[in-house]
Chain A
Amino acid sequence: MSRSLHDATRNSFPERAERLTRVESEAAVDVLVTAPLLDRRSWRRWWIGVAVATLLTLVFVGAIAMILGKGIGVLGNNTSIVWGYPIANYVWWIGIGNAGTLISSLLLLTHQRWRAAINRFAEAMTLMAVAIAGLFPILHMGRPEYFYWLAPYPNVMHLWPQWRSALVWDFWAILSYLLFSIVFWYTGLIPDLATLRDRTLGRAGQLFYGALSLGWRNSARHWYAYEKYYKAMAALAVPLVCSVHSIVGLDFAAGMMPGWQEPIFPPYFVVGAMFSGFAMVVVLAALVRWGLKLEALVTMNHFDAMAKLMVMGATIMGLSYAAEWFSGWYSGRHADHSLLAFEFVGHYAPMYWAMLFCNVMACQIFWFRWARRNMAVLIVVAILVNIGMWLERILIVWNTLAHAYLPSMWSLFAPTIWDWAVTLGSLGFFALMYLIFVRVFPAISMHEVKQLVHEEVAA
């Protein structure tokens, strides 16, 4: 099999602007994508990654145990700033999650064929990010053991959930989104699992992939139903993903606080989510392509397209911030004017300026073609965007709560070690799940890329 990998890479040709991939045949796609899973390759770098990620995951588990065992008093939250890191992390992670679904559904519906090479690992990112996001509101509760009270179920107290509460909307938004994403991702994976079943040589692998592929046999009848289903799922996923982050935006907008009570919040949160998610996809695409040697399938043309979307996102973010400042000023209310001044020159002003630089300015370099095709620039800017978006989430919480209507309530937030442990730990947990994903499942949707390669070769 390693010889066929050699052939496949030898068959690949130098990158051309008019072609998305660099392979000549459908068989080469299979070889490239399945080789890391089926060949006896050196996984040394992978094990190093797993070791680091496991360590951070232990930190995460320890922090969660501390928060659940001792209560939320171990965090930096105080009586003014009642929302802290958990809510910022929740919004950040669910935002990362949004991009995977947008890539797989919105770009499918708009016939952006380049998505085929990146949608699988972007969807996996969605699943893991949403699963982590779902943990944070629970960690943030005073009595997390009762979180299931948010669901309507027959109970001896004869109580029902309060449907007008943003917390209940959140519960259903995250739950529906997570389960829907799992179904979408798994059904997209079935044909590729069948390919792995047919290519693997070991008995254990055949049983494993055979059972997971549910006996898929590539029948034209099945493909027909599959395509109808998959397109319908994509059409459902777009409004779902927009509604999920709109509901997250409503968590803030429904609160009667200066700086939060703004109708622009739902769309502004959706754009921010797409933006930060794309930045994360760029980082993951660079890592997956390097780690699994998929340079022939995920080419610089893909990064070029993603960078264009990021520069669009950054510009819309800039407009959203401007709209936010304008409505604060135009409201004519003292509390809003005072908050605006606090944002620009108050205690958190350095973070605010850093956020503006990361989210609005950094991406403007992608107006230049050389920057869109330079891996170092892409990764640095993508990481800056992720940091900037996290700063935005924490500052939405901090600025408003630190500087609300009543001056006697003004106070600042001092993060504790557990705030940092749960935040950095969640990154480690994400990395661990992601490493397991690329070791077990094909990171690229083979049947979709094969179709793309076929069309490109025929053209």
Chain B
Amino acid sequence: MTRVLLACFPHPEALMIAVRRVKEEGAVPVDAFTPHPVDGLAEALGAARTPVRKWMLAGGLLGGFGAYFTEWFSAVIDLPINAGGRPLHSWEVFYLFPFEFGVLMAGIVGAAALLATSGLPRLNHPLFDVQGFERSSQDGFILAVEQPERHPERLRDMLLASEALWVREGKT
């Protein structure tokens, strides 16, 4: 649990300026909460990393090759049937099922990875106790800054001076 100061801004541009000023002051912006994705925000917070696409690739390849192996094993090894002299290993049509299944697995694994790496589902969170936090899903652009041990009021004044509508304390 980090004690943070939450500052709500009326639009994303004000939020981005505040992130820059907070960093210039030497404070640490922890996270931000916005109604829609804001370009460059995750980069500014140093949080622009996610393994989601790697998981999707792994899930897709595993699903696809697994499906192809199932076809090959069943049609060539376990149950070879001579259907009108067609080759047992009919790769020309065997790629159809692995393609569909691979895409499906990439999607399912990607969704699971998105939730797992975001720590969701987590129905409650200390931030939800902060009055006004619900604006972050509507029209408020909220910045969370680690509360400095010395002179927290200076940070608070600085945030209010950068167009913040309100500044409140919370835990993240």
- Which residues of A are at the interface with B, using a C-beta cutoff of 8 A? 25-27, 30, 152, 158-164, 168-169, 172-173, 175-177, 179-180, 183-184, 186-187, 191, 194-195, 197-199, 210-211, 214-229, 232-233, 236, 239-240, 243-244, 247, 446-448, 450-451, 454, 458
Query: Are the C-beta atoms of B47 and A221 separated by less than 8 Å?
Result: yes
Q: A164-B90, A229-B56 are in contact. Are A222 and B110 (CB under 8 A)?
A: no
Residues of B within 8 A of A454 (CB): 11-12, 36
A172 CA to B100 CA in the complex, in Å? 7
Query: Are the C-beta atoms of B100 and A243 separated by less than 8 Å?
Result: yes
Query: Are the C-beta atoms of B101 and A176 separated by less than 8 Å?
Result: yes
Query: Are the C-beta atoms of A183 and B107 separated by less than 8 Å?
Result: yes
Chain B nearest Cβ from A262, distance in angstroms: 18
Stretch at the interface among B134-142, B150-158, B161-169: B134-142
- Which residues of B are at the interface with A, using a C-beta cutoff of 8 A? 11-13, 31-38, 41-42, 45, 47-48, 50, 52-53, 56, 60, 70-71, 74-75, 78-79, 81, 83, 86, 90, 93-94, 96-97, 99-101, 103-104, 106-108, 110-111, 113-115, 117-118, 120-125, 127-128, 134-139
Residues of B within 8 A of A244 (CB): 100
Query: Are the C-beta atoms of A217 and B90 separated by less than 8 Å?
Result: no
Query: Are the C-beta atoms of B138 and A233 separated by less than 8 Å?
Result: no
Query: Are the C-beta atoms of B36 and A447 separated by less than 8 Å?
Result: yes
Q: Which of B38, B42, B75 contacts A221 (CB 8 A)?
A: B42
Query: Are the C-beta atoms of B107 and A215 separated by less than 8 Å?
Result: no
Q: A152-B74, A163-B71, A225-B117 are in contact. Are A26 and B52 (CB under 8 A)?
A: no
- In the complex, which residue of chain A has the Cβ closest to the Cβ of B136? A218
Chain B nearest Cβ from A36, distance in angstroms: 17
Residues of A within 8 A of B34 (CB): 218, 220, 223
Query: Are the C-beta atoms of A232 and B79 separated by less than 8 Å?
Result: no
Query: Are the C-beta atoms of B125 and A199 separated by less than 8 Å?
Result: no
A228 CA to B81 CA in the complex, in Å? 45
Could you show 13 A-B contacts with beta carbons less than 8 Å apart? A163-B75, A169-B97, A183-B111, A198-B137, A214-B120, A214-B121, A218-B137, A220-B38, A225-B52, A227-B37, A236-B107, A239-B103, A448-B36
Q: Which of B52, B122, B125, B135 contacts A228 (CB 8 A)?
A: B52
Residues of B within 8 A of A240 (CB): 100, 103
Query: Are the C-beta atoms of B121 and A220 separated by less than 8 Å?
Result: no
Q: Which of A177, A179, A229 has the most CB of B within 10 A?
A: A229
Query: Are the C-beta atoms of B118 and A225 separated by less than 8 Å?
Result: yes
Query: Are the C-beta atoms of A184 and B107 separated by less than 8 Å?
Result: yes
- In the complex, which residue of chain B has the Cβ closest to the Cβ of A451? B36
Residues of A within 8 A of B52 (CB): 225, 228-229, 232
Q: A187-B111, A211-B123, A229-B53 are in contact. Are A160 and B137 (CB under 8 A)?
A: no
Residues of B within 8 A of A447 (CB): 35-37
A370 CA to B15 CA in the complex, in Å? 43
Residues of A within 8 A of B118 (CB): 219, 221-222, 225-226
